[in-house]
Amino acid sequence: MLEKILIPVFACLIGVLIGSRLRLGWDAVLKRKRFRIYLRGLRRKIDTTQIEKLVQDHVLVILEIPKLEREVLEVGSFLSEKNASRIDAAFASYKTTRFADPGDKVKNEETKKKLIHLLREISHYAK
């Protein structure tokens, strides 16, 4: 008699535990994917903007830093510690990268390439 009650209860409990674990895993995959899509859009935005506009405004990059920081913090909990630390290092470098004087086109082009490279690196480690 007791087996008739306990077996379905244990089966339901195991089903709930497995289902919640699967849902958490799926949420992690979706958040990382959304984060990589956001990074791709930001890379395109920086890549398609002319150097002169980036140097003059610099707002394009500065305004994205708080949003990018929120995204990094949100997705960081779903990553391994090794990848999270690599993303943190790349993001710290991204935050400190600055353009040179408007007349120095070569250095500003290198800075633009560096920003795009750092975003690619962050995206790579968010997989």
Q: Predicted confidence band at 2 (pLDDT cuts at 50, 70, 90)? A: low
Average pLDDT of every residue of the chain: 84
Residue 69's contacts (CB-CB under 8 Å, 6 or more residues apart) are: 91, 95
Q: Is the pLDDT of residue 59 over 70?
A: no
Domain ranges of the chain: 32-125
Calculate the alpha carbon distances from 110 to 51, 59, 73 in Å.
10, 18, 28
Q: Is the pLDDT of residue 14 over 80?
A: no
pLDDT the model gives residue 76: 85
The 10s digit of each residue's pLDDT in 15-57 is 766 666 666 678 888 889 999 999 999 999 888 888 888 887 7
Dig out the tokens for 4 from the structure: 């008739």
